[in-house]
Amino acid sequence: MRKAAHMVVTSVVVGLLVSGCGGGDDDKTDAKPKGATTTAEQQSKSPEPSAQGSMIERAAGSWKSIVEAKDTGLETLTIADGKVTAKGPKLDCTGTLKSGEKAGKEAPTLTLTCKGGGDGDRGVGTVGMKDDDKLAIDWAGPEGGFGGLVESFRKVG
């Protein structure tokens, strides 16, 4: 008999703890385990890229190289409406950013033409972004070569 009464009391206490009843803390919100997120929270934290606009739209603005530019490097990149200007210590370039796809993902193509003809083996590159403040260009490099430079930029405006 004692054993049965003890089991009933234990069941009631466990039931109250699991359901959150008892204690009278009406001002506390429901607790959830650390790291747990609801579907609504996940959607608000990481909206689909299409909801933020195309990569060309998100790339609009001014960018600065994350490394100090050498003679043939680019220091700054400015993108507006698919038009690009890029400058470095010895480079003054203009170009276009056009939509494209690579391996089923958005991968715009940047084509540059520099004054004086020397583009430091750039010419055509594929643009990628991480978040909205980091941009990288994977340049194709010279024809017949094994690929080109990869340049990285941070948004400054």
Which tens digits make up the pLDDT trace of 19-35?
Answer: 444 444 444 444 544 55
Q: What is the DSSP letter of 56?
A: H
Percent of the chain past pLDDT 90, that is, above it, reads 45
Domains held by the chain: number: 1
Q: Does 1 map to a domain?
A: no
* Residue 30, token pair as written in the block: 């429901």
Residues 6+ apart with CB under 8 A from 60: 79, 80, 81
Banded pLDDT at 6 (limits 50, 70, 90) = very low
Q: Which pLDDT score is estimated for 155?
A: 97
Q: Does 25 map to a domain?
A: no
Q: Which pLDDT score is estimated for 157?
A: 65
Q: Does 4 map to a domain?
A: no
Q: Does 108 map to a domain?
A: yes
Q: Does 14 map to a domain?
A: no
Which tens digits make up the pLDDT trace of 88-143?
Answer: 998 999 999 999 998 899 999 999 999 987 777 787 999 999 999 999 999 997 77
User: What DSSP element (H or E) covers 96?
Assistant: strand 92-98
Q: Could you give the 3-state DSSP secondary structure of residue 7?
A: helix
Bridge partners (DSSP) of residue 129 are 135
Q: If you average pLDDT over every residue of the chain, what do you get?
A: 75
pTM comes to 0.64
Range of the domain at 151: 52-155
Mean pLDDT of 48-76: 83
- Ramachandran angles phi, psi of 93, nearest 5°: -125, 155
Q: Does 41 map to a domain?
A: no
Which tens digits make up the pLDDT trace of 59-70?
Answer: 999 999 999 877
Q: What is the CATH number of the domain that holds 130?
A: 2.40.128
